[in-house]
Amino acid sequence: MSESENIKNMRHLIKIFEARANIEGACTNESTDAEFAQNDGSENEQLAASNNPAAEFEALIERLERVTARLERLPVLRTQTSTPPHSPATATPTPAQHTQIEISVVDSMSVNGYQDLIQGPLRAYLELSQQIGGDVATHANLVNEAFQAQLRYIQLAASRSKPSQAEEMQLLSPTSDKISAIQQFREKNRVSSFFNHLSAISESIPALGWVAISPTPAPYVKEMNDAGQFYTNRVLKEWKEKDKRHVEWCRAWVQLLSDLQAYVKQHHTTGLVWSGSGAGAGAPPPPPAGGLPPPPPVLPEADFSNMSIDDRSALFAEINQGEGITSHLRRVTADMQTHKNPTLRQGPAPFKAAHQAPAAPAKPLPQPGAGKLDKPPVFTRDGKKWLIEYQKGNSNLVVENADMNNVVYMYRCRDSALTVRGKINGVVLDSCTKCAVVFDHLVASVEFVNCQSVQMQVLGKVPTISIDKTDGCQIYLSPESLDVEIVSSKSSEMNVLVPKGNGDYTEYPIPEQFKTVVNKPPTGLTTSPVENKG
């Protein structure tokens, strides 16, 4: 390798060290950037004025020494508890004490990998955002601050053990505050011409919450990336013919989250890894003050001396009698037969004794959605599915802040009303009675299965409505949903209400009866609905 190539490689290595020093200096608020910029500028002037390789090599060595000295001056990350003055070191901490967090430079693969993420895909996204300018550039600055806050949190995890839950929430607050600021910026700029850009970031920036997800945080990052791609596709559709920079901007953001997912999968497969040393070492909790619980009482010894002999032997003895088993039965004479003595028919039937208890009422057949509400009501979110079960008499059920790929599942609810705000994938009502659902937009469909007396109203768009084994279904459509497809089977009392221009509705029944005839010549069947003329 030639001498000029060695100098070139050394210069590249020094730039990497300087970039890391700038990042760590920014994290610790070290104000030495101006000094390094000045030194770097004077050095470049000297190198430009000199063509002597020896002088250039000597200048590079001096430059490397300055970077090394700067890295050595950076503080170590620790969690220190300030003690009030004039108090002994062993005194119990008072409420006035507070936690101070310092930044650490820890040489770990986790921290280095995240720094590579910042220097690579994040930097590309920031540069493209600055080129677009406006709200996109302002939003990108908030994104940069969020990633820098998470970098400090990862550096903290690399230098100490896992803190308590309360302290962990306190340490996560800087990152969560930045995420909230990013989403609030989008809400305050809904009239912006770059609203789709802001929405793409706001919908997917919760991916930084992977640090609080276990045991598999990497799929969570991918899920958030997919949620944001709905808006990145809008950006591509709007700008691909106008300005290619917006296309590159979308690719840079999606690539950033993809690289973040790969980073999490490589370094934090089952959750954020803490070093296991330093302050807040996780020790097992001490046993309760009352000691271990007493042992369970000893069961008394069973007394089998008074148990009777198994009676099954007597049963088998009677069965083995053969024909003699009927010898003790009474013979029915002619005067006992009702067909020969009509007078016996006037009284109560012989097989109904006077002292016999009245027969129990027949058990009614089960009806759809009429099952016992013997379970507590449920309203929760399980991944991409919202579960609403066993609600009774609740007309204030509201699902909001749902993602576009979410599904709402309502099961065995009675006399309840559900409102779904925003755009989601689908809604399912299963075995519900006297329930109503109102929603804005659906990507797929709304389904009614085994329901009774249900209603639905769409305010925006719904492609498909499916009704199966349901009695009584009222469908209120919006002007945007007049091209909906309704599929019904084994159902009755179904009506579709179509809006009119004056705000009223026109009601149309869905056919329940059908007429089928054989084609002539016999090539199959033809089925048509039977209209109700009455």
Contact 254, 225 (CB under 8 A): yes
Indicate if the alpha-carbon torsion angle 59, 64, 70, 73 is positive or negative: negative
E-state strands within 249-345: none
Contact 369, 431 (CB under 8 A): yes
Contact 431, 449 (CB under 8 A): yes
**DSSP assignment, residue 31?**
-
pLDDT tens for the chain, 534 residues: list them. 566 666 766 776 776 666 666 665 555 544 444 444 444 444 444 444 445 667 777 777 777 777 676 666 654 433 333 333 343 333 334 333 333 444 444 557 888 899 999 999 999 999 999 999 999 999 999 999 999 999 999 998 888 888 888 888 889 999 999 999 999 999 999 889 899 999 999 999 999 999 988 888 999 999 998 988 889 998 998 888 888 899 999 999 999 999 999 999 998 988 888 886 444 433 334 444 444 455 555 545 545 445 444 555 566 666 666 666 676 677 777 777 777 777 766 655 554 544 555 555 555 544 544 445 568 999 999 888 999 999 999 989 999 988 889 999 999 999 999 999 999 999 999 999 999 999 999 999 999 999 999 999 999 999 999 999 999 999 999 999 999 999 999 999 999 999 987 778 899 999 988 889 998 888 888 888 887 554
Overall residue count recorded for the chain in this entry:
534
Q: Which residues pair with 445 in a beta bridge?
A: 464
* CA-closest candidate to residue 204, choices 221, 189, 225: 225
What is the pTM (predicted TM-score) of this model?
0.38
